[in-house]
Chain A
Amino acid sequence: MKDRGYYKKFGGAYLPEMLVSTFDELVEIFQTAKNDPGFWEEYVDIMSTYSCRPTPITFAQNLTRHFGGARIYVKREDLNHTGAHKANNVIGQGLLVKRMGKTRVIAETGAGQHGVATATMAARFGFKCTIYMGEVDVQRQRPNVFWMERLGAEVITVTEGTRILKDAINESFRDWVTHMDTTHYVLGTACGPHPFPEMVSYFQSIIGQEARKQILDQAGGLPDRIYACVGGGSNALGIFNAFLDDPVDLVGVEAGGEGLETGRHASRLSSKDASVGVAQGYKTYFLQDNDGQMRETHSVAAGLDYVGVSPILAQYAETGRIRFEAATDREVMDALSLTIQKEGLIPALESAHAFAQALKEAPAMTPKDIILINQSGRGDKDIFTIADAFADPKWQAFIKEKAEGYHA
Chain B
Amino acid sequence: MLESYLDNRLKQKEILLMTHIVLGYPTFEDAFKIIESMVNAGVDLMELQIPFSEPIADGPVILHANQKALAKGATVKKCVDFAKTVAETFEIPFLFMSYYNILFKYGVERFVDTMAENGLQGAIVPDLPPEEGKDYLEAMDKHRLSPILIFSPSTSDERMNYLGAFGRGFIYCVARKGVTGVDTDFSRQLENYLVRCRKATDLPLALGFGVKERADIDFLKGKADIAVIGSETIRLVDKEGVGAVEAFIKTLR
Contacts and interface: CB of A to CB of B under 8 A. Distances in A.
Interface of A: 1, 4, 12-22, 160-161, 166, 170, 173-174, 177-181, 275, 277-281, 286, 288, 290-294
A286 to B, nearest CB: 8
Interface residues of B, number: 39
A294 B104 contact: no
A208 to B, nearest CB: 31
Contacts of A173: 56
Closest 5 CB pairs of A and B: A292-B105, A178-B178, A292-B101, A18-B152, A293-B53
B152 A17 contact: yes
A124 to B, nearest CB: 28
A275 B101 CA distance: 11
Contact of B178 (A14, A21, A177, A278): A177
Interface in B128-181: 128-129, 131-132, 150-156, 159, 163, 174, 177-179
A292 B106 contact: yes
B52 interface: yes
Given A174-B59, A279-B99, A293-B53, 18 more contacts: A12-B132, A16-B57, A17-B155, A18-B152, A18-B154, A20-B159, A21-B156, A170-B56, A178-B177, A180-B154, A279-B54, A281-B56, A288-B101, A292-B76, A292-B101, A292-B102, A293-B70, A294-B54
Given A17-B152, A22-B154, A177-B57, A291 B102 contact: yes
Contacts of A1: 131
Contacts of B179: 174, 177-178
Contacts of B184: none
Tell me what chain A mostly uses at the interface: helix, strand, loop, or mixed: mixed
B127 interface: yes
Contacts of A166: 54
A337 B150 CA distance: 54
A166 to B, nearest CB: 7
Contacts of B178: 174, 177-178
Contact of A161 (B59, B67, B127, B131): B67
A352 to B, nearest CB: 29
Contacts of A277: 101, 104-105
Nearest to A173: B56
Contacts of B163: 17
B201 interface: no
A166 B67 CA distance: 14
Given A161-B67, A293-B70, A294-B53, A18 B177 contact: yes
Contact of B105 (A17, A180, A290): A290
Nearest to B179: A174
Nearest to A296: B53
A68 B178 CA distance: 58
A278 B100 contact: yes
Contact of A281 (B60, B127, B152): B127
Contacts of B174: 17-18
B56 A280 contact: yes
Contacts of A178: 177-179, 182
B132 A4 contact: yes
A180 B56 contact: no
B63 interface: yes
A173 B178 CA distance: 9
A292 B103 CA distance: 9
A308 to B, nearest CB: 10
B154 A21 contact: yes
B75 interface: yes
Contacts of B159: 20-21
Contacts of B56: 16, 170, 173-174, 177, 280-281
Interface string B14-53: 0000000000000000000000000000000000000011
Contact of B129 (A20, A160, A180): A20
A325 to B, nearest CB: 27
30 contacts: A1-B131, A4-B132, A14-B127, A14-B128, A15-B129, A16-B56, A16-B57, A16-B126, A16-B127, A17-B126, A17-B155, A18-B177, A20-B129, A22-B154, A170-B56, A174-B59, A174-B179, A180-B177, A275-B105, A279-B54, A279-B99, A279-B101, A291-B75, A291-B105, A292-B52, A292-B104, A292-B105, A292-B106, A293-B53, A294-B53
